[in-house]
């Protein structure tokens, strides 16, 4: 892969915790702090300020164990920060979903907290919300072993420190269902705007529902020569036999084709089509030219998915951002998921230290030559239906152990317990 120029400023995820949201009844904490182990220190770990952080992590677990809910929790916090001040009305409910399998938690607020590094400063930001209002909100700067409070809000009462001068006078402008941080960012406060941008640069792929978005990102980037080169190298690395992916430069208006440079006709514009190019051979096996395929109709699901992923992957690597993917391996060969993980766990292809967090069932990635022990996380349901979350580091194992074999044998938990089904077929 082509090297990407480095930058000095880093915007990194350090920790995230969630409590009383979806399947998380009790507080669960996910961390990208690296442990004091020697595994892959040259590539999978990077230093910024006082931190030694991981370039990513994989989350494993049985179906319905809650691993996707971790992604949804971080996505919920992101969206509330980006949208609560501007996109919500005073009568709108906050779309939070507390743990429903307990009579107490379903009426209590849900809590979210994130620790991150942005523009040389470490922040801790946390909220507690129910459907009607923001119960609590707190922002602090983390310095060594202590924290410096910037503001705190609890049940309508605000404490705003001098270090957060940009927030003074804005408490009265903050609706009960809006985040104070988001309101201050709308008034272009320097600190709040920096944090707002951090959330905005945390990218998500949540599954099939995001297919139109990721396709559009990758399609539009085709006009960028650097991305085009990156995408082709990624596609060719997969040995798909595809020469190129190109946009159809004609545009369709209600069934009438308008060629580039032609007369603009009235009508509704549709998205330009994508075509893929393949080699064509004659009857003697000699290359005789190229053939054009309708990319969306004639290429495989895996090829189309790899193309859709290429845009968000490129953007995250190029800008040093975070990419959060639910079910990374769905529809991809295990060697392709390994390739994607390797792009992030590499100094050459990831010099800006972008971070990749993903859920997966691909046990082939559970290998000591791909992921460190602190990059492997598990989710498991307890007897009350709540999700527990823990790292492989909690188990005393050798680095040369067979992570995949041990996991499939149930040594680390987080696997389904299968019982013989009693299906009422037959006599």
What confidence tens digit (pLDDT) does each residue in 153-211 have?
999 999 999 999 999 999 999 999 999 999 999 999 999 999 999 999 999 999 877 88
Q: CA-based Rg of the chain, rounded to a whole angstrom?
A: 24
Residue 379 pLDDT greater than 50, yes or no = yes
DSSP classification of residue 204: E
As a whole number, mean pLDDT of residues 104-121 equals: 92
Q: What is the pLDDT of residue 362?
A: 92
Q: What is the pLDDT of residue 3?
A: 39
Q: What is the pLDDT of residue 282?
A: 85
Percent of the chain exceeding pLDDT 70 equals 86
As a whole number, mean pLDDT of residues 371-397 equals: 91
* Beta strands 11-19; 134-143: pairing state: unpaired
* Beta strands 157-160; 146-154: pairing state: antiparallel
Render pLDDT for 16-28 as a digit per residue (tens, 0 to 9): 999 999 999 999 9
Domains and CATH numbers, the chain: 11-201+321-408 (3.40.50), 225-304 (no CATH)
Model confidence at 134, pLDDT cuts 50, 70, 90, reads very high
Residue 260 pLDDT greater than 50, yes or no = no
Q: What is the pLDDT of residue 256?
A: 46
Highest mean pLDDT among 15-24, 116-125, 276-285: 15-24
Model confidence at 261, pLDDT cuts 50, 70, 90, reads very low
Scan for tokens 């993903």, then name that residue.
358
CA distance linking residue 231 with residue 68, whole number of Å:
27
Residue 331 pLDDT greater than 90, yes or no = no
As a whole number, mean pLDDT of residues 80-91 equals: 92
Q: What is the pLDDT of residue 7?
A: 37
pTM of the model: 0.88
Is the CB of residue 44 less than 8 Å from the CB of residue 375?
A: yes
> What does pLDDT average to over the chain?
86
Q: What is the pLDDT of residue 259?
A: 41
As a whole number, mean pLDDT of residues 268-295 equals: 80
Is the CB of residue 138 less than 8 Å from the CB of residue 153?
A: yes
> Distances from the Cα of 425 to the Cαs of 282, 418, 421, 422, in angstroms?
53, 20, 11, 9
Q: What is the pLDDT of residue 11?
A: 75
Model confidence at 77, pLDDT cuts 50, 70, 90, reads very high
Q: What is the pLDDT of residue 267?
A: 45
Residue 135 pLDDT greater than 80, yes or no = yes
Scan for tokens 């297919």, then name that residue.
211
Highest mean pLDDT among 49-58, 311-320, 327-336: 311-320
> Distances from the Cα of 26 to the Cαs of 14, 158, 302, 385, in angstroms?
20, 27, 37, 11
């Amino acid at each position: 892969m082509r090297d990407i120029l480095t930058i000095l400023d880093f915007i990194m995820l350090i920790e995230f915790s969630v409590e009383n949201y979806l399947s998380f009844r009790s507080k669960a904490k996910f961390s990208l702090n690296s442990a004091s182990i020697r595994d892959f220190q040259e590539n999978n770990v990077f230093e910024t300020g006082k931190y030694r952080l991981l370039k990513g992590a994989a989350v494993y677990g049985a179906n319905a164990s809650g691993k996707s809910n971790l992604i949804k929790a971080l996505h919920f916090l992101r969206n509330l920060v980006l949208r609560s001040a501007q996109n919500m009305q005073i009568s709108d409910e906050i779309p939070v979903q507390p743990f429903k399998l307990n009579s107490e938690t379903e009426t209590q607020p849900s809590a979210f907290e994130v620790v991150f590094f942005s523009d040389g400063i470490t922040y801790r930001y946390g909220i507690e919300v129910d459907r009607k209002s923001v119960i609590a909100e707190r922002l602090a700067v983390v310095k060594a072993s202590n924290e410096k409070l910037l503001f705190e809000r609890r049940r309508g009462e605000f404490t705003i420190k001098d270090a957060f001068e940009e927030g003074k006078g804005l408490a009265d402008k903050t609706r009960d269902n809006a985040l104070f941080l988001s309101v201050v960012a709308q008034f272009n406060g320097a600190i709040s705007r920096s944090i707002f941008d951090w959330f905005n640069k945390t990218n998500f792929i949540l599954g099939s529902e995001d297919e139109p978005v990721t396709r559009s990102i990758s399609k539009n980037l085709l006009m960028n020569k650097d991305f085009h080169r990156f995408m082709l190298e990624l596609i060719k690395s997969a040995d798909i036999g595809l020469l190129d992916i190109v946009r159809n430069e004609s545009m369709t208006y209600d069934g009438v084709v308008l060629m580039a440079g032609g007369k603009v006709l009235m009508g509704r514009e549709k998205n330009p089509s994508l075509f893929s190019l393949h080699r064509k051979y004659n009857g003697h096996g000699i290359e005789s030219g190229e053939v054009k395929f309708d990319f969306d109709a004639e290429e495989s699901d895996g090829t189309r998915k790899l193309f859709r992923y290429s845009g968000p992957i490129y953007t995250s690597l190029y800008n040093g951002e975070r990419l959060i993917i639910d079910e990374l391996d769905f529809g991809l060969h295990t060697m392709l998921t390994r390739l994607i993980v390797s792009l992030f766990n590499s100094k050459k292809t990831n010099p800006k230290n972008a971070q990749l967090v993903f859920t997966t069932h691909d046990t082939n990635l559970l290998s000591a030559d791909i992921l460190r022990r602190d990059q492997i996380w598990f989710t498991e349901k307890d007897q009350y239906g709540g999700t527990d979350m823990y790292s492989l580091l909690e188990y005393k194992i050798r680095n040369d152990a067979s992570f995949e074999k041990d996991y499939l044998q149930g040594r680390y938990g987080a696997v389904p317990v299968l019982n013989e089904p009693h299906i009422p077929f037959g006599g």
